[in-house]
Structure 1
Amino acid sequence: MASIVQTELTLPAAMRMQQLVQDYVRGLTRLAGLPEDQRESLSLAFWEACRNAVEHAFDAENPGTLKLSGTLTPTTLVLSLGDQGLPFYQMQGVRDATPDPASPAPVCRGMASVSSCFDEVHWSYHGVEGNELRLTKNLTGVCGPPPPEAEAAGDRLEPAEPAAPETYTVRLLRPGEGLRVAQLIYRVYGYTYPHKDFYYPDRLDHDLATGRLVGVVAVAGDGEFAAHLGMTRWDLGPLGSVGAFMVAPAHRGRGLTKLLGQRLQAEIQTLGLVGLFGEAVTIHTISQQIAVGLGYRVTGLKLSDLELHFNRLPRRDGPSSSWEREADPGLQRQTLVFIFHYLAPPAPKTLFPPPRHREMLTKIYGNLEVETKFLDPTLPTGPGEIKIHFDQVSGVGTIQVNRIGSDTRPKIIQARRDLCDLAGAQVVGLCLPLGQGGAPHLCEAAEADGFFFSGVLPQFAPDGDFLRLQYLNIGLEPESIHLYSPFAKELLTYILREKERVGP
């Protein structure tokens, strides 16, 4: 089998296409080497998605077509369903009832159960290009560490004895070493690390081979991986995200943070990237401190944007900080600090800031050391372009405005309501292009609907930077947000004040 297999199939949006759809999926799952029971379950689950589109996205006078695509890699099978019918977030059938658990059929039934057959479920709306449902099935199992059940039964992680003083070899991570990184992350986090791909060696090796992951490791004298720091480029674009920093308990306090950061920075300089970004958790300030030390600047806060399972790992010397003593183990929604670092001095930016937020935006760009020219708003004309995405696993929806048009305002208001009411989004982010004159008017309209200021996403818009607003469909506990830099604290105060101003 080739390293990557890509296929496409276009069919009429009709119920009579069921057999063709299922045969298409069965063929791909057979090629992926999945067992027969999974092949059948996945084919039926994918047909449920197609059936939902046939029934709710089209009418008899405009039957339309379904575009099926499959991408098979050594680590994943991704099935995509595209249509140009009614936007997915307006389809009343998207929340079909959960199937009867007593049903003897071991298959997925109803859109609410598709996620039980696939590992990742992502809805996207691409404007005039239509809807896309992307379903991912992972093909590889976890690495050598014991499963969570064994840990729950008493096979607990033992506190580590400090390693003897030694020197370390700091080098790039190589394809084929994914298992050793997975074992390191287990020693550091158990099974609580939120980015689950790091527990799957084959996925790590694939990302290393394709350039989506650049990793640096500190290797002890006996060959043990003592620490890791990585950078991901999922779309191989001009931005990278640094993270996955971990140090084995026995090797802490040896200055490995600085050594890894320097080596990774040297490698990044060879890639010609524009900048690096990250999202630091706020259950503690350790990652924020490291980021500030590496030159990152705070540009925004994403309130309650991540569901994180915190588990207090054993330490011989007990909790090392107040957050370890006070944090309650278990699932928690976490606020993230958005940080950005330009790799070269950026060119001056011409922006259209909302008048209400001009002062705070001046501070954010001043903190980034970016020269700006602020212009007065203009009225949008012509059709707009928006993309809407919903991550069913995290419960986070995103409305991304690429072009502001005269029709954009009602679309984002309707999208927010349907993401919350139909899809069940707990958090909705709204991204407005600051380089377009209609941004201030659209910001004001969104705030009237309950969105509030959240910060700036530099270089994320097709034409520059996004102003990010946020809508919460859940509660918030500000006292659980721990921040390191004075500017981050000032920004949080401003955001909370804006949240209160726009109301529930």
Structure 2
Amino acid sequence: MVRIDHDVPVEPGQTFVVDRFRTEDARGVAHLFYAEYGPSYPIETFYFPERIIAENENGNIHSVVARTPKGDIIGHGALFRSSPHFQNLYEIGQCIIRPDYRVTFAAYNINKFAAETLTAITHPDGIFGEAVTHITATQKFSALVGMKDVALEMDLMPSEAYEKSQSASGRVSCLILFKSFRDRPQEIFIPSRYAEIMEYILRDVEITRTLTPSAGEFPDNAKSLMSSRFFKYAGVGRFNIVSAGEDFEEIVDSLEKEGQENETLVFQFFLNMSEPWLGEAVEILRKRRYFFGGCVPRWFDTDGMLMQKILSPPDFAAPRLYSAKARQLLDFLRSDWQDPQG
């Protein structure tokens, strides 16, 4: 299996079309990722043309490309399966444009194709995106295709991820945006301290939810059901708590210890909002300096609440946010972090 380890020159100023991925595009996509990230992109798949083809065939990735008449690939974006427990909630992203073509509408057209044309073909229940906040372009594109701000991941990505383009000076926070295509109306449980901000987050999201105050303790003898993943390159640990049980506090201790071994700087817990005892899990995390991040509808098929901890003080001054909603969410996160026992 060939691993692409170099860039190839692409003639500037060509016309291009935005289209679904074809098998013959794979090598051009791999060269594009190498051109942008060198050998350091954390998802190895995109350096191997055969893997790019296989992942597009099995539905884990649905790539969109900007292709010139010569067959050069000058841009890429995708719908892809990533961290959500629910497999039909796809992430939209992996958008890269060659520098000579960044003055074109390639990025906008790729995102529009993925969010509108491609979703009509692939039928996800919903999509979400993680828009970087050291620039606002992706946030604007996402808003234009109807995605809504739902969460803010503080200091998620290391500056090294953007070293080649030299567009970030420190760790970069990401704004999570969401769009529903096929809703599942449901009841979600919310700790009283987050009731107001949760209502605000969901107000403009086109889904049907019954918001109920969280109450009660973990069920007797119930064990937690969860999955964990450490992204060592990014210094991130991400944990999906499908169900929180009596052992949740021990689970948190164990994951934090494992995080230390993996040089983790950012800890993220996604909690299942269908559980009435959600507030119990939230308070266990808050005692350990976790703070609110937001809500991602359909993360578990049911909705997920993000609680996060950063080992160094979060840089709340750094995010550049396009919408008033995102700025208000940032203000709430700052106050929640500053008053962990409030």
Q: Same fold (TM over 0.5)?
A: yes
Contact 1:354 1:439 survives alignment (8 Å): yes
Establish whether residue 428 from structure 1 lines up as the match of residue 290 from structure 2. Answer: no
What does residue 253 of structure 2 align with?
A: 414
Structure 2: how far apart are the matches of 1:501 and 1:179? Answer: 51
Cα deviations by residue, 1:142-190 (Å, 9 ceiling, x for unpaired): 24428xxxxxxxxxx9xx98516x4x33322112421111223344455
Structure 2: how far apart are the matches of 1:442 and 1:401? Answer: 10
What does residue 240 of structure 2 align with?
A: 400
**In the TM superposition, what are the counterparts of 1:208-287 in structure 2 within 5 Å?**
208-233=56-81, 237-264=87-114, 265-287=116-138
Cα distance, 1:360 vs structure 2: 0.3
Q: State how many pairs are aligned.
A: 334
Contact 1:241 1:278 survives alignment (8 Å): yes
Cα distance, 1:208 vs structure 2: 1.9
Structure 1: how far apart are the matches of 2:239 and 2:43? Answer: 23
Question: Residue 205 of structure 1: SS of its match in structure 2?
Answer: helix
Q: Which has the higher contact order (CA 8 A, sep 6+)?
A: 2
Choose which of 153, 156, 166 in structure 2 pairs with 1:305.
Answer: 156
What does residue 293 of structure 1 align with?
A: 144
Establish whether residue 484 from structure 1 lines up as the match of residue 322 from structure 2. Answer: yes
Q: 1:368 to 1:441 in 2, by over 3 A?
A: same
Choose which of 332, 335, 356 in structure 1 pairs with 2:193.
Answer: 356
Contact 1:396 1:426 survives alignment (8 Å): yes
Cα distance, 1:262 vs structure 2: 4.1
Structure exhibiting the larger radius of gyration computed from Cα positions: 1
Question: Residue 141 of structure 1: SS of its match in structure 2?
Answer: coil
What does residue 22 of structure 2 align with?
A: 174
What does residue 30 of structure 1 align with?
A: none
The code of the aligned residue for 1:401 comes to I
Instruction: Specify every segment of 5 or more residues in structure 2 that has no aligned partner in the other structure, as ranges.
Output: none
Structure 1: how far apart are the matches of 2:42 and 2:140? Answer: 20
Q: 1:194 to 1:288 in 2, by over 3 A?
A: farther
Q: 1:195 to 1:417 in 2, by over 3 A?
A: closer
Structure 2: how far apart are the matches of 1:398 and 1:415? Answer: 13
Q: 1:381 to 1:186 in 2, by over 3 A?
A: closer
Question: Residue 171 of structure 2: SS of its match in structure 1?
Answer: strand
Structure 1: how far apart are the matches of 2:205 and 2:255? Answer: 30
Instruction: Specify every segment of 5 or more residues in structure 1 that has no aligned partner in the other structure, as ranges.
Output: 1-138, 147-156, 314-322
Contact 2:155 2:174 survives alignment (8 Å): yes
Establish whether residue 199 from structure 1 lines up as the match of residue 47 from structure 2. Answer: yes
Q: 1:350 to 1:403 in 2, by over 3 A?
A: same
What does residue 472 of structure 1 align with?
A: 310
Q: 1:413 to 1:144 in 2, by over 3 A?
A: closer
Q: 1:399 to 1:169 in 2, by over 3 A?
A: closer
Contact 1:390 1:419 survives alignment (8 Å): no
After superposing the two structures, state which structure 1 stretch, 472-481 or 360-369, moved more: 472-481
Cα distance, 1:287 vs structure 2: 1.6
The code of the aligned residue for 2:242 comes to N
Question: Residue 480 of structure 1: SS of its match in structure 2?
Answer: coil
**In the TM superposition, what are the counterparts of 1:308-327 in structure 2 within 5 Å?**
308-309=159-160, 310-311=162-163, 313=165, 324=167, 327=168
CA RMSD of aligned residues (A): 2.8
Q: 1:409 to 1:209 in 2, by over 3 A?
A: closer
Cα distance, 1:454 vs structure 2: 1.0
Aligned identity (percent) is 20
Contact 1:211 1:236 survives alignment (8 Å): no
Q: 1:236 to 1:163 in 2, by over 3 A?
A: farther
